[in-house]
Amino acid sequence: MKCHMLAFGICAIALTGCEGSPAWYLSNPDRKIIELDGYEVSVLPRGDNKYDAFYAGLVNMDGAIEHRKRQIKAVELATGCRVTDQQYLPGTAIMQAEVACKNSGLTK
């Protein structure tokens, strides 16, 4: 049992700052937080007109269609661009969105 806990601890420490880990998403300085309908949606640039949108806390996904619409709107508000394509990372609630606009940088 102690061996399993030690292995888990080592894995947790190793993944804490890796790109794509929860800590990386939540501590990334390029993250823009958009509040919509009482929810905070984070938008993170991923290069080449691509952005990730995710909720910082736990969200009941019973209203999945509304959450999807909210994430799309958050990306559009954060970038000033139109979302042209989107999909979820497998097994997550992280939306990857592609935008079309003349200036796709995050607004300050």
**CB contact set of 88 (below 8 Å; sequence gap of 6+):** 94, 95, 96
> In this model, does residue 8 exceed pLDDT 50?
no
Asked if residue 67 and residue 20 are part of one domain, the reply reads: no
CA distance 103 to 9: 43
Asked if residue 38 and residue 20 are part of one domain, the reply reads: no
Q: Does the model's pTM come out above 0.85?
A: no
The two structure tokens encoding residue 83: 């979302």
> In this model, does residue 2 exceed pLDDT 60?
no
Asked if residue 102 and residue 52 are part of one domain, the reply reads: yes
Asked if residue 108 and residue 60 are part of one domain, the reply reads: yes
> In this model, does residue 11 exceed pLDDT 70?
no
CA distance 108 to 100: 19
Asked if residue 2 and residue 52 are part of one domain, the reply reads: no
Instruction: Please state, rounded to an integer, the average pLDDT across all residues of the chain.
Output: 79
Asked if residue 72 and residue 51 are part of one domain, the reply reads: yes
Half-sphere exposure of 24 (CA within 13 A, CB side): 13
Asked if residue 38 and residue 22 are part of one domain, the reply reads: no
Our count of domains for the chain comes to 2
Asked if residue 56 and residue 4 are part of one domain, the reply reads: no
Asked if residue 38 and residue 75 are part of one domain, the reply reads: yes
Backbone angles phi, psi at 29, to 5 degrees: -70, -15
> In this model, does residue 6 exceed pLDDT 80?
no
pLDDT tens, position by position, 47-99: 889 999 998 776 666 678 888 999 999 999 999 999 999 999 888 889 999 99
Asked if residue 41 and residue 14 are part of one domain, the reply reads: no
86 dihedral zone (left: phi>0; alpha: psi -120 to 50; beta): beta
Residue 70 belongs to domain spanning: 31-108
